[in-house]
């Protein structure tokens, strides 16, 4: 099993290390490992987790296609959120 450092992961996917840190905070990137109980301990990524995460990302043929996909995803998320936040009438 090959482990990537946070910097290696960031370089592989073309983002800044700070962006990788934000992904971890928000839960938007691939799974990561920290061998220390300290929040300041070094972070690693399994290479196969990164490859799987990349493969699962949608790809587009145009920015218009991407925009339509993201719009539909946001709309679906709002509908789901509204469903859970509605208060039933008494």
pLDDT at 11: 97
Which of 14, 37, 9, 12 has its CA nearest to residue 24?
Answer: 9
pTM for this entry: 0.72
Quick check: 85 pLDDT over 70?
Answer: no
Buried b / exposed e over 5-38, threshold 16 CB at 10 Å, is ebebbbeebeeeeeebeebbeeeebbebeeeeee
Helix axes 47-56, 6-13, angle to 10 degrees: 30
User: Tens digit of pLDDT for each residue in 14-58?
Assistant: 999 999 999 999 999 999 999 988 888 899 999 999 999 999 999
């Amino acid at each position: 099993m090959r482990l990537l450092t946070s910097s290696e992961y960031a370089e592989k996917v073309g983002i800044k290390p700070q962006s990788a840190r934000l992904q971890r905070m928000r839960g938007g990137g691939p799974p990561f490992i920290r061998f220390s109980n300290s929040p300041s301990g070094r972070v690693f990524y399994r290479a196969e987790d990164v490859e799987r995460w990349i493969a699962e990302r949608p790809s587009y043929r145009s920015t218009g296609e991407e925009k339509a996909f993201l719009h539909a995803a946001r709309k679906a998320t709002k509908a789901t959120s509204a469903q859970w936040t509605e208060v039933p009438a008494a």
